[in-house]
Amino acid sequence: GAVVSQHPSWVICKSGTSVKIECRSLDFQATTMFWYRQFPKQSLMLMATSNEGSKATYEQGVEKDKFLINHASLTLSTLTVTSAHPEDSSFYICSARAPAGGLISGNTIYFGEGSWLTVV
């Protein structure tokens, strides 16, 4: 079964509204999670590193006030796209690294199923 779960898988929202995407680690605690964005027919680009209990680290060019990341617990990180616009329509996918010594393969990176966002 899934080790990292994302929700929702699909979301359509109106321009100007905000939408939240959740990323959960199901079988392990993840102090660090990662958020990627993939535009159609393009590669996956790292947006930010989500750190449990502290501020996220954003990659160059990613607006931190637009893409709010909250990592309030060791199993949940959320990405909120604020004031969404059609150009934010994309595939968003998260990943988490399982720590060494756990029940599942340590130091393995697991990806969520991804979330398709369409802003109309």
Partner 1 sequence: AQKVTQAQTEISVVEKEDVTLDCVYETRDTTYYLFWYKQPPSGELVFLIRRNSFDEQNEISGRYSWNFQKSTSSFNFTITASQVVDSAVYFCALSEALSNTGKLIFGQGTTLQVKP
- Give the nearest distance from C-beta 12 to partner 1 in angstroms: 16
The owner of tokens 């993939």 is: 38
Q: Compare residues 79 and 96 and give the one whose CB is closer to partner 1.
A: 96
Q: Compare residues 46 and 68 and give the one whose CB is closer to partner 1.
A: 46
- Give the nearest distance from C-beta 34 to partner 1 in angstroms: 5
Q: How far apart are the first and last CA of the chain?
A: 33
| Closest by Cα among 35, 110, 31, 45 to 74 | 31
27: left (phi over 0), alpha (psi -120 to 50) or beta: alpha
Q: Which residues bind partner 1 (CB under 8 A)?
A: 32, 34, 42-46, 49, 91, 93, 95-97, 100, 107-109, 111, 113-114, 116
Q: Compare residues 11 and 82 and give the one whose CB is closer to partner 1.
A: 11
d(CA 16, CA 20) in angstroms, rounded, equals 13
Write out the two tokens for 96: 């988490």
- Give the nearest distance from C-beta 43 to partner 1 in angstroms: 5
Q: Compare residues 66 and 116 and give the one whose CB is closer to partner 1.
A: 116
- Give the nearest distance from C-beta 33 to partner 1 in angstroms: 9
Q: Is 62 in contact with 48 (CB distance < 8 Å)?
A: yes
